[in-house]
Amino acid sequence: MSIPDADLTAAGLALNVEGAVATVTLSRPDRRNAMTPAMWRGLARIGAEIPDHVRVVVVRGAGPSFCAGIDLRMFTAEGVPGEPRNPDPREPGFDERIAGFQAGYMWLRSPSFVSVAAVQGHAIGAGFQLALACDLRVLADDARLCMKEPALGLVPDLTGTKPLVEIVGLARAVELCLTARTVGAAEAAQLRLAELVVPAAELDAAVSDLVAGLLSTDTAAARETKALLRQAAGNTLEQQAAAERAAQARLLRARTSG
Ligand code: ACO
């Protein structure tokens, strides 16, 4: 990948690609990995440049918290050094600016790889939405999830509302967002917001085990299968059955022609 380490560091990110596994680390532990537009742009850039051979992307946070959400200085008069103020809908380009932030989250759904959030401590607002953008979530037992935006007079707009509803259902999503309450790891597991909850000291090992399992299946089959699963909810049974046939044909054709 051609992203200079210095650019990633300036954005509060670190990236390590080892074989088929890319690990993206939010690296502003002194601010609990609070997110700035630079960090969202950096995530989008990683997504745009992720090598084809990568099959698993792990997203993690350095320090005690996965991510404390948007850098709250964005809402102050002094702002975040080097960044324009928070987008104002009265100014042109508002929609494009938010779409640019969302690009930092969208790529994690790519069928090319499975994305795994490794969450310890707090995942608040934009940070909770980052965990929701991943296909799978492994939580440490000290994890605390909160969709804080409505409490701050905002809507969650970093692609988190769709996965939240898909995972917990509409009623629970309304309750979680409109109370902005904090969900602990045990409840997160009950609500299926976590595939796995482990003691905090075992988070890295549990993620490594999961990654090994994900790498044990055939690459092309895994990619076609993730694409199928992601479209299933929006398809009728007949459409999904047709999509399965088409995927199988593509897969087998590619194998015999390669
Ligand atoms: N933005 C900017 N700075 C932050 C943020 C944030 N979101 N979160 C933490 N920090 C800073 C703190 O100001 C503090 O800085 P300091 O050392 O200069 O005083 C440092 O990170 C450590 O924070 P603490 O509060 O001391 O850490 P603690 O582990 O006790 O608490 C917690 C962590 C719960 C995450 C707390 O910091 C917090 O509530 N942060 C704000 C969360 C928030 O409201 N985020 C916005 C959500 S909405 C959205 O994302 C769109």
Those residues with Cβ within 8 angstroms of residue 202's Cβ, 6 or more apart along the chain or in another chain: none
| Ligand 1 touching residue 71 (CB < 6 A) | yes
- pLDDT category of residue 258 using cuts at 50, 70 and 90: low
Query: Where does the chain show beta strands of DSSP type E?
Result: 13-18, 21-26, 56-61, 114-119, 122-124, 136-140, 144-146, 182-184, 196-198
Instruction: Show the 3-state SS of 237-252.
Output: HHHHHHHHHHHHHHHH
Percent of the chain past pLDDT 90, that is, above it, reads: 89
100 Cα to the center of ligand 1, angstroms? 24
| Ligand 1 touching residue 68 (CB < 6 A) | yes
* Partners of residue 196 on adjacent β-strands: 138
Q: Give the position, in ligand 1's atom list, of the atom nearest the Cα of 127.
A: 50
What's the pLDDT score for residue 90?
87
Q: Measuring from atom 27 of ligand 1, which residue has the nearest CA? A: 32
Angle among Cα 69, 82, 155 to the nearest 5 degrees reads 30
The β-bridge relationship of strands 144-146 and 182-184 is antiparallel
What's the pLDDT score for residue 82?
86
| Ligand 1 touching residue 32 (CB < 6 A) | yes
- pLDDT category of residue 242 using cuts at 50, 70 and 90: very high
**How many CA atoms lie less than 13 Å away from 114 in the CB half-sphere?**
24
Q: Measuring from atom 6 of ligand 1, which residue has the nearest CA? A: 71
41 Cα to the center of ligand 1, angstroms? 21
Q: pLDDT, tens digit, for every residue of 203-236?
A: 999 999 999 999 999 999 999 999 999 999 999 9
Do 139 and 119 form a contact (C-beta atoms < 8 A)? yes
d(CA 234, CA 231): 6
To test the pocket of ligand 1, the residue of 28, 32, 65, 161 to mutate (highest count of ligand atoms within 8 Å of its CB) is 32
| Ligand 1 touching residue 152 (CB < 6 A) | yes
Q: What is the pTM for the complete model shown? A: 0.97
Greater model confidence, 163 or 81: 163
d(CA 68, CA 120): 11
- pLDDT category of residue 155 using cuts at 50, 70 and 90: very high
Q: pLDDT, tens digit, for every residue of 50-102?
A: 999 999 999 999 999 999 999 999 999 888 888 877 778 888 889 999 999 99
32 Cα to the center of ligand 1, angstroms? 6
Phi, psi of 52 (to 5 degrees): -60, -30
